[in-house]
Amino acid sequence: MSEKMEQYRIHQEPYYRSTGDEVALYEAAYSVRMPMMLKGPTGCGKTRFVEYMAWKLGRPLITVACNEDMTASDLVGRFLLDAQGTRWQDGPLTLAARHGAICYLDEVVEARQDTTVVIHPLTDNRRMLPLEKKGELVHAHPDFQLVISYNPGYQSLMKDLKQSTKQRFGALDFNYPEHVTETEIVAHETGVNGDVAGKLVSIAERARNLKGHGLDEGISTRMLVYAGSLIAKGVEPLAACRVALVRPITDDPDMRDALDAAVTTYF
């Protein structure tokens, strides 16, 4: 594999706790190179799962955080000017297709349509990527796979994937882990003991029940890891929860009171 790809290799096993048959299903999907769509709320571990699978399958991983100002050229590549004139530079998608990496388009629904349409010829049996600006037809490397993430809670009339895009992917559902699993994750990632970790998870579970009742999203596993890290550094649990769990997600006084009350119940 080209030297350029080395920086995209994952050398250490990422910490990932499986919560069902998602690892086996992903392996089967990869074996037929089916493009995959990971569905679930923010901060529940989709990115970590892709990193884990890339490590397990021994493939480099190229991640792109999609956004509405990203153009097809940002994915596919462009001509740059140097002393000898213009020189083509592969974008992350082309790089992955050419050298056999897994390409992960995070929050793909944020991207403009041209970004999503550009992936179509890579997702059917043709597995090719026309570089129209360069006049080249890239046939994907046999190891290449495309993965996208998708948060159903964000879906709106204005921003959704087209049916003709959705139909090109197999889909796996993700959610926050079970209590015991999430406690184990928080303890492992922060160094706090299981008791503290469990309390943090309980606070999160209460907040997740408020989703749709004044909160747009609940408290994610990642936020628990932040709170645990502060506690492990000696910050008072109450202050740590205020800074890492409550203040970031709401400015509404009543909601803050409700969340602060949940915190004081446990600490």
List the interface residues with its own copies, window 98-127 (CB under 8 A): 106-107, 110, 112-114, 116-118, 120-121, 124-126
Q: How far is the CB of 130 from its own copies (least distance, A)?
A: 7
Judged by CB under 8 A, which stretch of 77-85, 175-183, 200-208, 258-266 contacts its own copies? 77-85
Judged by CB under 8 A, which stretch of 2-10, 97-105, 179-187, 195-203 contacts its own copies? 2-10
Q: How far is the CB of 143 from its own copies (least distance, A)?
A: 16
Judged by CB under 8 A, which stretch of 32-40, 179-187, 192-200, 201-209 contacts its own copies? 32-40
Grouping H, G, I as helix, E, B as strand and the rest as coil, residue 52 is: helix
**Residue 247 in contact with its own copies, rule: CB under 8 A:** yes
CA 92 from chain centre, in angstroms, equals 16
Q: How far is the CB of 235 from its own copies (least distance, A)?
A: 5
148 — phi, psi (to 5°)? -130, 155
The strand pairing partners of 81, in sequence order, are: 86
Residue number, 1 or 70, with CB nearest to its own copies: 70
Q: How far is the CB of 101 from its own copies (least distance, A)?
A: 12
Instruction: Give the separation between CA 149 and CA 132, rounded to whole angstroms.
Output: 26
**Near its own copies in 139-198, by CB under 8 A:** 151-152, 155, 163-164, 166-173, 189
Residue number, 116 or 145, with CB nearest to its own copies: 116
Q: How far is the CB of 64 from its own copies (least distance, A)?
A: 7
Going along the chain, which residue ranges are E strands?
Answer: 36-39, 61-65, 77-82, 85-90, 102-106, 128-131, 136-139, 145-150, 170-173
Among 50, 53, 95, 103, binds its own copies (CB under 8 A): 95
* 29: its two tokens: 């999907």
DSSP conformation letters of 67-94: -TT--HHHHHEEEEEETTEEEEEE-HHH
Instruction: Give the separation between CA 113 and CA 159, rounded to whole angstroms.
Output: 10
**Near its own copies in 217-246, by CB under 8 A:** 217, 220, 222-223, 225-226, 229-230, 232-235, 239-240, 243-244
Query: How many residues of this chain interact with its own copies, rule: CB under 8 A?
Result: 96
Instruction: Give the separation between CA 37 and CA 170, rounded to whole angstroms.
Output: 6
**Residue 254 in contact with its own copies, rule: CB under 8 A:** no
Instruction: Give the separation between CA 152 and CA 92, rounded to whole angstroms.
Output: 25
**Near its own copies in 36-65, by CB under 8 A:** 37, 39, 42-43, 47, 63-65
Cβ atoms of residues 121 and 138 within 8 Å: no
